Amino acid sequence: MRAEERVIENIRKMLSLSLSACELLQKAVLEKNKMLLEEVSRIEREGDDLRRNTARQIYKGAFLPYLRSNILRLVEDVDDILNTADKAGKYFRKIENLGFLENSIEIERILELNILLCRILSKNFIEFFKNPEKLGEAMIVVRMLEKEADNLKHSILEDLRRKQTDFWDGIFTFNFIESLEEISDVVEDTMDTLQVVVLSL
Amino acid sequence: MRAEEIMNRRLEIVDPNITVLEVIEKIVNKRIRSVLVKLKEKDYGVITLRDIVYRCLVRGIDPKNLKAYEIASKPLVTVEKETSVEEILAIMERAKIGNVFVREGDKILGSITFMDVMSGYLVSRLL
């Protein structure tokens, strides 16, 4: 396998890990099973290994020099999806009163949107390199879904501010919601970087 | 694609006696496009931006002086959760509406707008 192919394969693996992390995060939150979040952290560390390995491949000479910075940025963006999922999981673990989850269709929907976004990216990643038009179409969809996640976050925060809660639970719940929504932001950033890479090839 | 696959499960239900200004505040704060007005037990009306503009603002009525039930559209146009998107679009076209509700028996499960249909189609092309 050529060095370039190894890099692309590593990024594809990282995207697949992102999807697994978001699916596990959903399961952990909906089942209120904080033990599952250990696995999200493990996946995040696996992603770190892949990021370091990919950076080494690029350092050793994969891709033409003018492409390397953008490829590395793409790797870091994908790694950021994993970091953000892990961060959301860490905040969730610290929340003692999980009452805000009762009947929260909006939180469920953000969790679903994150999975959908990672699935779109993971499933079509290789295809995007061959078919930039499909990438353009996917960018529209990702922007649309990201906006929905952003609207949901504002709606959740609007409801939360009317609820009485313990100071620390309030902070951790706020940070959890922010991080949960941030996953969709990072996926959008990843798509932007991917577009620059595809256009430069 | 079926109704339950693309429906939006967020439903904001408001009291019929709140003012239209309060409805506007709800729509803006919650970043939504419509609210359900609970008229009686299991009897709902809907207020969309269209209702607010045409039945209140354009007529020069102060939204503080109008109650939600006075501008709500009723009865709700509903479809079963198994209804196909093609059927839903035909209903929307026939009734000249941009919003239908998805039900299971007496229970309202969610709503579908043109945005949900568009999003559903685009996402399905990528998965």
Residue of A114, A148, A152, A159 to mutate for B, most B C-beta atoms under 10 A: A148
Cis peptide before B75 (omega within 30 of 0): yes
Burial grade of B82 (CB within 10 A; 0-12, 13-18, 19 or more): exposed
Q: Rounded to an integer, what distance in angstroms lies between the CA atom of residue A11 and that of residue A5?
A: 10
A30–chain B Cβ distance below 8 A for any pair: no
Other CB atoms within 10 Å distance of the CB of residue A102: 6
Minimal C-alpha gap between A105 and chain B (Å): 7
Please determine, for residue A126, whether its predicted confidence score (pLDDT) is greater than 80.
Answer: yes
Read off the pTM. 0.92
pLDDT in tens, A73-89: 999 999 999 999 999 99
Domain that holds residue B98: 3-126
Closest residue to B126, CB basis, from A109, A120, A151:
A120
Count how many domains chain B has.
1
- Token pair, residue A148, equals 């929905």
Per-residue burial over A64-74, b = 16 or more CB atoms within 10 Å of its CB, e = otherwise: eeebbebbbbb
pLDDT in tens, B39-72: 988 899 999 999 999 999 999 999 999 999 999 9
Go through the domains of chain A in sequence order and give each one's CATH number. 3-200 (1.20.58.220)
First to last CA, chain B: 13
pLDDT in tens, A18-63: 999 999 999 999 999 999 999 999 999 999 999 999 999 999 988 9
CATH number at residue B56: 3.10.580.10
Q: What is the largest CA-CA distance in chain B?
A: 49
Q: What is the ipTM of this complex?
A: 0.85
3-class DSSP state for residue B18? coil
Output the pLDDT for position A16.
97
